[in-house]
Amino acid sequence: MGQNALNRSLRIAYPLTLAATLGLLGACQKSDSSSSDSGSTTGTTTSTVSTTSYTVGVTVTGLSGTVVLQNNGGDNLSETSDGTYTFATSVASGSAYAVTVLTQPTDQTCSVTSGSGTMGNANVTDVAVACTSSSTNFYTTATDGGCAALDNTAPTATKTDTGCTLLTRDVSSCKATREAAGLSGAWLKFSCNVGLAVVTIGGKQYVQVTSKSEPDYKSKYWSNTDACYQAYTTAFPDPNTIAEKSIVMNVPMTPDTTNTAQSLGTVGIALNGVAIYDNQAAPGDDIFEEAGSFDECGGHPQGQGVYHYHGDPYAISNNDSNLIGVMRDGYFIYGRKNVDGTEPTNLDAQGGQTSTTVDSDVAVYHYNLNPQTDTGSGTYAGQTQYFLTTGTYHGSPGTCTGC
C-alpha cells in the first residue's frame, strides 16, 4: 500500500475509534446514574421533606397557688396566676400532644379541658385549665364554734407535736380585687383579713398592707372568756393577752438592696395578718428563753397585746417551702426549705438568697426561716432556734404606722 493510501485509511479509522470510546463512556455514565437511583451513595443528591411544628398554648383560670403542667409527659410549665401560657417545645404537625397536671396547687384541683389531640397546621390555643378549691370544710360563722378568727380557714392533715394544725386560707373573695389593682403571685396568697392596696408615695409605688395582727386560730393568749381561747402550757410565762392593733405598712413594689438594721417592733406581716418581729427579745430579756412562751402555733403577744411571730409560724409553714409573709423592705419570706425540699446552704447575712420559690420559677431574692444558735454563756447557750430574721433588712424598709 502506498503512503497516500495508508494516510487515507488512518483518517477513516480514528474517528470511528473515538466515537466508539465516547459511546462506552456514555454507557458507563448512564450505568452509574442508574446505580445512583437504586440507592448508591456515589455521586447522588438527596432531598428531605420538612415537617412544620406548632406550639401548644393553655389558658389557666381560678389559680391561687402553683400548678405544674406537662405536655406529652415532659416540658414542664409552672405557673402561679391566671393567664395564657405556651409550652416551650413545639409539636410536629401530625404528632400527638397531651396536656396533663403534674403538680396540683395547695388545696386546689386543676382540670384540663381539650388537652389532647393530633397537631394540625396551626398553633393549639384552646386548651383550658380550670382550678377550683378542693377544700370543702372552710370554717364559717356556722361552724367555727363562735371563734370568728377561724372563718375562711381550713385544717390540713399536717400537725406539729405541740398541737398546731397547718391551715389553708380561702382567698377567693378578695382575689379579683387584688388582681384588678395589679397584684399577682405571692400577694394573692394573703388572707382576706389583710388589706392590700397599691399606693404612690413620693413618686414610687408601694403595696399598702393593713392588719389587726390577730391570729386566725385558737390560742391561750386570747382572753379566757373568748371563744377562741384554748388552754396550753408554755415553758416560760407570758402574762399578756391578744389585743387588736392597727398596722399600716407601706411595702416598696420595687425593693432596693440597701442593707438596713431592723428595730424592735413590726418588721413584716405574715400572710394571715400577724406581725413579724426580728430575732431580739425586749431589752433585758433573752430571746432563746422567751421562745419558751410561744404558743402551740409559734406566736405570743407583747406588753401592748400585739400578737407576733419571731420564729416558725406553724399554722402557715411547718418545715416546708411555704410563703410566710412579706418584710417591710418588699422582699417575701418563706419557710425552712427550698422549693426542692432541701434546706438552704447559702443564706446571706440577712437570711436570704436568690433562687426559685413556690411562687416564682424565676430566681428572685427572698428570705428563709433560718437557724440561729445562742452563743452566750447563759442557761440557753448552744440552743438553736429558727428565726424569721437576722436583725437586718436586705433593702430599705417602707414607712409603717402602729409598728
156 in a domain, yes or no?
A: yes
Q: Alpha-carbon distance 390 to 277, whole Å?
A: 10
Check whether residue 78 and residue 127 sit in a common domain: yes
Check whether residue 307 and residue 347 sit in a common domain: yes
Q: Give the model confidence (pLDDT) of 288-315 as tens digits.
A: 999 999 999 999 999 999 999 999 999 9
Total structural domains within the chain: 2
Check whether residue 194 and residue 292 sit in a common domain: yes
Check whether residue 235 and residue 361 sit in a common domain: yes
23 in a domain, yes or no?
A: no
Check whether residue 93 and residue 160 sit in a common domain: no
319 in a domain, yes or no?
A: yes
Is the pLDDT at 23 greater than 60? The verdict is: no
- Bridge partners of 97, per DSSP, are 117
Strand pairing category for 332-334 and 323-327: antiparallel
The dihedral through the CA atoms of 17, 19, 20, 25 has a sign that is positive
Is the pLDDT at 8 greater than 80? The verdict is: no
336 in a domain, yes or no?
A: yes
18 in a domain, yes or no?
A: no
248-273 average pLDDT score: 96
Q: Which structural domain range is residue 250 located in?
A: 148-401
Check whether residue 319 and residue 366 sit in a common domain: yes
Q: Alpha-carbon distance 332 to 190, whole Å?
A: 12
Question: How many CA atoms lie less than 13 Å away from 9 in the CB half-sphere?
Answer: 6
Q: Which residues of 172-189 are buried (b: 16+ CB within 10 A; e: fewer)?
A: eebbeebeeeebebbbbb
Q: Alpha-carbon distance 275 to 283, whole Å?
A: 19
59 in a domain, yes or no?
A: yes
Query: CA dist 292 to 85, 197, 383, Å?
Result: 48, 36, 12
Question: How many CA atoms lie less than 13 Å away from 271 in the CB half-sphere?
Answer: 26
State which amino acid sits at residue 187: W
CB atoms within 10 A of CB 134: 14
pLDDT, greater one: 33 or 352: 352
Check whether residue 246 and residue 102 sit in a common domain: no
Joined grid coordinates for residue 6: 495508508
Nearest to 84 by CA among 128, 131, 133: 128
* C-beta separation of 70 from 77 below 8 A: yes
Check whether residue 166 and residue 221 sit in a common domain: yes
The answer to whether the pTM exceeds 0.85 is no
Joined grid coordinates for residue 120: 394540625
Q: Alpha-carbon distance 9 to 3, whole Å?
A: 10
Q: Give the model confidence (pLDDT) of 354-383 as tens digits.
A: 999 999 989 999 999 999 998 877 778 888
Helix, coil or strand: residue 147: coil
Give the domain-ending residue among 85, 100, 133. 133
60 in a domain, yes or no?
A: yes
Q: Alpha-carbon distance 225 to 244, whole Å?
A: 16
Burial class of residue 354, CB neighbours in 10 A (0-12, 13-18, 19+):
exposed
139 pLDDT band (50/70/90 cuts)? Answer: confident
Helix, coil or strand: residue 59: strand
51 pLDDT band (50/70/90 cuts)? Answer: confident
141 in a domain, yes or no?
A: no
Check whether residue 126 and residue 152 sit in a common domain: no
CB atoms within 10 A of CB 154: 18
Is the pLDDT at 30 greater than 70? The verdict is: no
Check whether residue 263 and residue 332 sit in a common domain: yes
Check whether residue 344 and residue 232 sit in a common domain: yes
Give the domain-ending residue among 68, 103, 133. 133
Check whether residue 210 and residue 253 sit in a common domain: yes
Angle, vertex CA 387, rays to CA 381 and CA 392, nearest 5? 105
Would you state the pLDDT for residue 48?
A: 52
